[in-house]
Structure 1
Amino acid sequence: MMETDKMSTASSVGTAERRPLLQALVIERRILFGCTCFVGLCTFLWIAAVCTEKWVHIEGGSGIYLHTGRYFMWSDTGVWEMCRYVFQPNKTMTIKDAPQNTTGLTGQIVTRCTNYLAQPPMDNGRPIDPAYDVNIANYVRTMISFGIISLFVMAMGCGFSAYTFHNPRYMFKRLAAGIHFISTSCTFVVVQVMMSSVDHMKKNVRFIYPERAYHYYNISFFLAWFVVLVNLFAAASFLWYSRKRKGDKAATDELAMADEPTIIGR
């Protein structure tokens, strides 16, 4: 009878000692589940951000005169395409006769879009479209390359994150953390290259970024930053919770056995 009482007491003490570990496990599962869901959501947000032209808005105010005889009004820039909205006066004016802005002029707003992935029409070895710049085209190719890579890596990271709930072994969490870190790096490169391209336009391409214009970043740019931060948080969370927990440090016997050394055979 006394031996039975001792065994039940030991069992109850073990359960009580593991109660804080079980509570910590619940919090861990909720955080990692939230990270997995947000990474999956970011996959679609990234597609929406890359496919829209709302990254950078360049504002020309009441109009800035261009050498083509039109007035620059504003433009919306995406990852691979930029659309400019220019004012076309009804009458042709010389540079001397042209006013500084569109105040008092009659005309219409015309949209001009430049696709930097397509080969532009050439005239004597130079692009006909004055908005096409070779350096910007190189920036665009870099953003597209890293954008596509990050999309596949994010989808892969979401799959590995979900697998960690099926197999709680620490090595799979570290693998998921590494994949999330790669997707963080790739998406961050796209954001940084976009900022560099805007800086290049401001300094070197006056037709796209006139002297009196100014710019601000639009919704797609902030969506991209949201994707970067979510992937970074997911990488840090999976790495933090990938510590080995053996024996009495594990919340359950299943987790304790999962983190024991394993010989991987053929």
Structure 2
Amino acid sequence: MIRDVSTSTIGREDRKPAMDAYMFQRRVLLVCSFMMILSLIVWIIAISTDRWIIISGNGGIYIPETRRFFMYSHSGLWRHCRITQLPNALKNATVARNFTSIAYQSPASVNDAKFNITDVEFVKSFLTHEVTFPLQNFTDAAKERMFAHWIRNEQELFQEFKKAFWSLELANEKIALTPIDSKPIQVNPLDVPGLEAQKVFGQALQQVVVDNLTYFFVIPIPAQRAMFNGWNEKRLVPKLYWPYVRDLDIPAYVMNEHRVILQLIPPKPPKKGGIKNGYDYIYTSRCKYIEMFPSASSLKMDPGFDDELMDYIRTQASFACITVFVMCLGTVFTFYTFMNPRYMFKRLAGGIHLVSASTCLVVIQVLMSSVEYTKEHLFYAYPDGAELTYGYGVWFAWFTFITNVVCGLLFMWYSGKKKGSKAPTDELAMADEATIMGR
């Protein structure tokens, strides 16, 4: 049977409805093509910005681990910014201070300070003490030796003394050092007379003279047992007290008799920092690019991230890049459909648009899952009482997703074959005919 594919007998007037429909289709698909270019630009802007997740601290949420007020943070797929205020009690202010408040905070500063006193006379004298193992009790000489080995980074000897210290001084207190699962009790540091009269901190509240100034420090009892007599009079030792206690695995918090943590909470800071209620609030803004494959040590130093969260971040970053590639490919095929009207190219372009929409949706869904995980497991990054809002990066991503879906469906809808009398011209009718592939 011979098939007649000719449309030459169809007059111009008979083809006018088909031509009008075809021209309307071309206009719609041309608009879709330019919308795809716009959505590609918007997507690149979206993944480049750090305004996807915005967490607000509602005027300041105190983070005991860093002694800072969390103000707000904003982050994207590649960069994270955190704005905080550090309350520093003025020297002449009568307030109760955590002993960590005078410590070096960064590992680099701690290492520099340890290096500066490695060869100081009192450290050398500590090393001359004769201490014989096994120890019967942990004397002041043993405490000085342990501190000197820590200063000189002699880990093997330090660990030996540390094991003996825990065995002799804290063996019966491991359970007592573990707080119960209860919300910490907030304590006003401005009411020093009341804290002393009511013995809120017990023996943990100590008057300590450092650099000829008297301070009221809250020092946990196990941390007091770890230090030698006269530690507050030695150069740089007060600033190294907290890093030293931390390496001894002694917690910095103090608990009441019910093992509930007592937290000193300074008054909330002013919006842009300044002096208030005996505190000088230092406004800081820290932004950094997210390290996609951090080492175990660097991950441990950043309480805002963990291994599972990094899996979320790597997933959304990789799919963001895949989306850019697929959208670029889809844009090329979109404009190619105007050069070659065959139906299969429209279907190919529509299919690619739907694929790019799905990869874009993966990025959005993984991002939202990472937020839920952060809220449940990472208090430092998402403190209790913080509020979450999504920035314009997320709205740009939704715009890209919707544009890809709509354009993909339109290309699929207008990809039907136009043969015979349904075609506006003979050329278009031939383009949609079946093609026999020869050698």
TM-score higher than 0.5: yes
Quote the residue 1:39 is aligned against: 36
In the alignment, is residue 56 of structure 1 matched against residue 53 of structure 2?
yes
Quote the residue 2:402 is aligned against: 229
- Alignment match of 2:423 (pick from 250, 256, 259): 250
- Alignment match of 1:70 (pick from 68, 71, 74): 68
Note the C-alpha offset of 1:250. Answer: 1.1
In the alignment, is residue 151 of structure 1 matched against residue 328 of structure 2?
no
Count of equivalent residues: 255
Quote the residue 2:369 is aligned against: 196
TM-score w.r.t. structure 1 length? 0.89
Letter in 2 for 1:202: K
5+ unaligned residues in a row in structure 1: which ranges?
A: 1-9
Note the C-alpha offset of 1:222. Answer: 0.3
In the alignment, is residue 111 of structure 1 matched against residue 285 of structure 2?
yes
Note the C-alpha offset of 1:261. Answer: 0.8
Letter in 1 for 2:50: E
5+ unaligned residues in a row in structure 2: which ranges?
A: 1-7, 91-96, 99-185, 190-264, 271-275
CA contact (8 A) 1:120 1:128 kept: no
Following superposition of structure 1 onto structure 2, how do residues 1-266 of structure 1 map, counting pairs within 5 Å? 14-67=11-64, 68-91=66-89, 93-94=97-98, 96=187, 97=189, 98-99=265-266, 101-102=268-269, 104=276, 105-120=279-294, 123=297, 127-266=300-439
The separation in 2 between residues aligned to 1:181 and 1:111, in whole angstroms, is: 40
Note the C-alpha offset of 1:113. Answer: 3.4
Going from structure 1 to structure 2, the CA distance change for 1:91 and 1:264 (only over 3 Å counts) comes to farther
Note the C-alpha offset of 1:120. Answer: 4.2
SS at match of 2:400: helix
Quote the residue 2:154 is aligned against: none
CA contact (8 A) 1:60 1:74 kept: yes
Letter in 2 for 1:256: A
CA contact (8 A) 2:305 2:378 kept: no
SS at match of 1:127: helix
CA contact (8 A) 1:63 1:101 kept: yes
CA contact (8 A) 2:299 2:305 kept: no
Structure with greater helix percent:
1
Quote the residue 2:205 is aligned against: none
Letter in 1 for 2:400: V
Going from structure 1 to structure 2, the CA distance change for 1:122 and 1:100 (only over 3 Å counts) comes to farther
Letter in 1 for 2:413: W
CA contact (8 A) 1:83 1:112 kept: yes
C-alpha offsets along residues 51-70 of structure 1, whole Å, 9 cap, x if unaligned? 11010110111100001100
Going from structure 1 to structure 2, the CA distance change for 1:172 and 1:122 (only over 3 Å counts) comes to closer
The separation in 2 between residues aligned to 1:119 and 1:91, in whole angstroms, is: 38
CA contact (8 A) 2:333 2:349 kept: yes
Quote the residue 2:104 is aligned against: none
Quote the residue 2:124 is aligned against: none
The separation in 2 between residues aligned to 1:21 and 1:100, in whole angstroms, is: 75
Identical-residue share of aligned pairs (%): 41
Letter in 2 for 1:29: R
CA contact (8 A) 1:121 1:129 kept: no
The separation in 2 between residues aligned to 1:41 and 1:247, in whole angstroms, is: 36
Letter in 2 for 1:26: M
Going from structure 1 to structure 2, the CA distance change for 1:227 and 1:35 (only over 3 Å counts) comes to same
Note the C-alpha offset of 1:245. Answer: 1.1
CA contact (8 A) 2:292 2:310 kept: no
Note the C-alpha offset of 1:42. Answer: 1.7
CA contact (8 A) 2:353 2:404 kept: yes
Note the C-alpha offset of 1:121. Answer: 6.3
Note the C-alpha offset of 1:90. Answer: 2.6
The separation in 2 between residues aligned to 1:40 and 1:58, in whole angstroms, is: 32
CA contact (8 A) 1:116 1:132 kept: no
Note the C-alpha offset of 1:122. Answer: 5.1
C-alpha offsets along residues 146-181 of structure 1, whole Å, 9 cap, x if unaligned? 111111110000000100000000011111111111
CA contact (8 A) 1:65 1:100 kept: no
TM-score w.r.t. structure 2 length? 0.55
The separation in 2 between residues aligned to 1:255 and 1:118, in whole angstroms, is: 51
Note the C-alpha offset of 1:106. Answer: 3.3
